[in-house]
Amino acid sequence: QVQLVESGGGLVQAGDSLRLSCAASRRTFINYAMAWFRQAPGKEREFVAAVSAKTIPTYYADSVKGRFTISRGSAKNTVYLQMNSLKPEDTAVYYCAARPLPGAAQASNDYDYWGQGTQVTVSS
């Protein structure tokens, strides 16, 4: 069974940084594009960032561009989301996702595998 396991969430203050990690249970994911989405209370799940199987290109939502960085680990079945200059509006449950294609996408329907989510709370 394929699993994605996120970690690294927590409670921080505005302006702080956090690094989220997502580890895939199978090495097959080195050929998969991976992404981060988030869902705030009462809102729909939204795209945050995505990375192709070959690490480039990467894509970002306008709301996080310049503050967040998505990257893959050396083993390629791990993806990170470095979040800097966090804002209260970044508060959400963050989900890792993977799709069995090398090219990244920005729609949640394009991803087949999902993690359980990790809570990020940014206080003002």
Which amino acid is it at 3? Q
Give every CB contact of residue 32 below 8 A, 6+ residues apart in sequence. Answer: 24, 53, 98, 99, 100, 101, 102, 113
| Residue 39: its H or E element | strand 33-39
* Mean pLDDT over each residue of the chain, to the nearest integer: 94
Residue 94 CB: number of other CB atoms within 10 A? Answer: 23
Evaluate whether 95 touches 38 at the Cβ level (below 8 Å). Answer: yes
Q: What pLDDT is recorded for position 27?
A: 73
* pLDDT, tens digit, 9 for 90 and up, residues 53-68: 988 899 999 999 999 9
Q: Is the pLDDT of residue 75 over 80?
A: no
Residues 49 and 84: their CA atoms lie apart, in Å, by 14
